[in-house]
Structure 1
Amino acid sequence: MRPAQLDGLTTARFTLSFRGDEHGAVFGCLSTSDLPEERLDQLAGRWLHHTELERYAKLPLVRRKSSFLLGRLLAKTAVRGSGVEGDPRDIAIDSGIFGQPVLRDSGTAFRLTLSHTDGLLCAVVSDPGVPFGIDVERFVDDRVPSLRQALSGDFDRFAASRGLLSEEHFAFVLWTQKESVGKATNIGLTSPMSTYDISRFEWPVPGRIHAEFSNLTQFACETCCSERFAVSFAYPRLGALNRHLDELLADAEEAVGWA
């Protein structure tokens, strides 16, 4: 029996070509809404590994249970999109020493990057040797001053390149770019913020930003914005994507309510 799915969940396959080799990956999106605890418990029983169920049961708030469960549901759906069959309860998603998600017990090695904010989750499942990082943030006005303070000067350096982005959206774009490359390197934002400085910020097509990094030069990043969210996706800079972030999100627009 296939485990129960949720409305507002979508996955899409893409590839990254690097030095003559093609590496497949799966991008997933899930819109989140308030689910009753009874429904969450039903889904948990069908999707969570026994070690995850133990952690889930100890979470004190329904909101935290929802975030914990739905992130794993999305990630395991993306694993299934990579061709893995079987029971998702055989897959455990643990936390690495820097808080990064780690897939265990799947029988096949995968790398996972996962991000969630109020209303939206995004994930990428890929070959363990191909680093990706994804970050999603919901726009919140009162966070802009603290974000600007943390952006290590990039807000002022690239202000002329922000185009039609508002100050609020621009701050969240830069922040998600830094978060995404931190996730791609598995260290998050645990280094000095100057480590994640931006060296290039441009618009190759309307609606999609391309960024590169001053110090983490192995990576590039794509960013897209809707009215409510910013999503950034870091990947190996010398690789060629067959589908870009705006195209992957377009697949999710109707099902997830990305726009």
Structure 2
Amino acid sequence: MNIVVEKLVLHRAEGLFPAAIAIVKQPLNALKEIRHSFLHPNELKFFDTLKFERVQHSYLLGRFAAKKAWSVFAEDNAMTAVEITAGIFQQPVLYLPGGGNIQLSIGHTEEIGMAIVFPESHPMGVDAELIDVKQSETIRSIVAVGEQDKLQLIHPDAGKSLTVLWTIKEALSKVLKTGLMTPFELFEIDKVQHQDGIVICDFKNFPQYKSLSWLAGGYAWSIVLPHKSTLDLAVLRKLYLQNSAGQVS
């Protein structure tokens, strides 16, 4: 089973904020076999209503990644006691047995689940996307006029650059809890820089946030977090070097 989980510490002037991130790559059959070890009873009932394997797989990938991240965040292995439901905008909402202001963000592809757990007072969002030449041409439609000259700054390969941009905008939409209901032009990136193998972008219309992105194993990955928060980028580097994706490309 391919699972990578890392604790994160977000540094701000007012103090430290904990978080945890998990990446899971596991086939559907294997996840179905262990679903009783991590799904809440209500989640098990909901899973039984899912008819299509693709939907089942994405549901289990996301829930398993989220529960593993929560387990490390809370230092608690009672994953079945935690329930993740959908909010009114279909955003994931974390319900804990004893309550608490802890929330999460989930991203997944057909094969990979990614989740981050964080204090509600420190909003974050994540997304992952397979790099696909055909899909990248579709993504080109969400590029704002002011972003055209920034694609090359993200990565010299257009397909990779476009896919990273998509994950950045998806992750920001999750922080704002708007999903795909807001025109992506509003999520236009501004300054682009590179540090320790991570692409860091600012936002033109949301200067209070920034994105951290990387490429690994044919996927683009992004985290969006408050602009003034910092974390040890070596932890992210360890994350993508450990995960099943293997090498940065």
Q: Give the structure-2-normalised TM-score.
A: 0.91
CA contact (8 A) 1:217 1:237 kept: yes
2:54 to 46, 57, 63: 63
1:218 aligns with 208
State the Cα deviation string for residues 59-111 of structure 1 (Å, max 9, x = none).
11223212212211111111110234253221110011222111013424311
Residue number among 5, 11, 26 corresponding to 1:17 in the alignment = 11
Secondary structure at 1:239 match in 2: coil
Give the aligned partner of residue 29 of structure 1. 23
Residue 209 in structure 1 maps to residue 199 in structure 2: yes
State the alpha-carbon separation in 2 of the partners of residues 162 and 84 from structure 1. Answer: 36
- Counterpart in 2 of 1:171? 162
Residues paired across the two proteins, number? 246
The answer on whether the counterparts of 1:196 and 1:215 sit within 8 Å (CA) in structure 2 is: yes
- For 2:238, the equivalent position in structure 1 comes to 250
SS in 1 for 2:181: coil
The offset of 1:238, in angstroms, is 1.1
Q: How does 1:39-58 map to 2 (within 5 A)?
A: 39-58=30-49
Partner of 1:118: 110
Are the aligned partners of 1:101 and 1:114 in contact in 2 as well (CA < 8 Å)? yes
Q: CA deviation at 1:124?
A: 0.8
**Contact kept in structure 2, 1:8 and 1:257, CA below 8 Å:** no
Kept in 1, the 8 Å contact 2:151–2:162? The answer is no
Answer yes or no: is the 8 Å Cα contact 1:199–1:212 preserved in 2: yes
Aligned CA distance change for structure 1 residues 98 and 147 (closer, same or farther; 3 Å): same
Query: Could you tell me how far apart the structure 2 residues matched to 1:113 and 1:87 are?
Result: 20
1:46 CA drift (Å)? 2.0
The Cα shift of 1:180 comes to 1.0
Say if 2:126 is the partner of 1:138. no
Q: Distance in 2 between matches of 1:247 and 1:87?
A: 25
Q: What amino acid maps onto 1:113 in structure 2?
A: S
| Paired residues of 1:155 and 1:171 also in contact (CA < 8 A) | no
Shift of 1:222: 0.8
Alpha-carbon spacing, 1:220–1:52, altered in 2? closer, same or farther (3 Å): same
Question: Shift in Å at residue 256 of structure 1?
Answer: 2.7
**What is the CA-CA distance between 1:252 and the residue it aligns to?**
4.8
Gap runs ≥5 in structure 1: 1-6
Partners of 2:154 and 2:21 in 1: CA distance: 26
Aligned-residue Cα RMSD (Å) equals 1.9
SS of aligned partner of 2:136: helix
The residue aligned with 2:70 is 79
Q: What are the Cα deviations for residues 41-74 of structure 1, in whole angstroms up to 9, with x where unaligned?
A: 4322222112111110011122321221221111
Is the CA contact 1:249–1:258 (under 8 Å) kept in the aligned structure 2? no
The alpha-carbon distance between structure 1 residues 227 and 166, as it changes in their structure 2 partners (threshold 3 A), is farther
Say which of 139, 152, 158 aligns to 1:147: 139
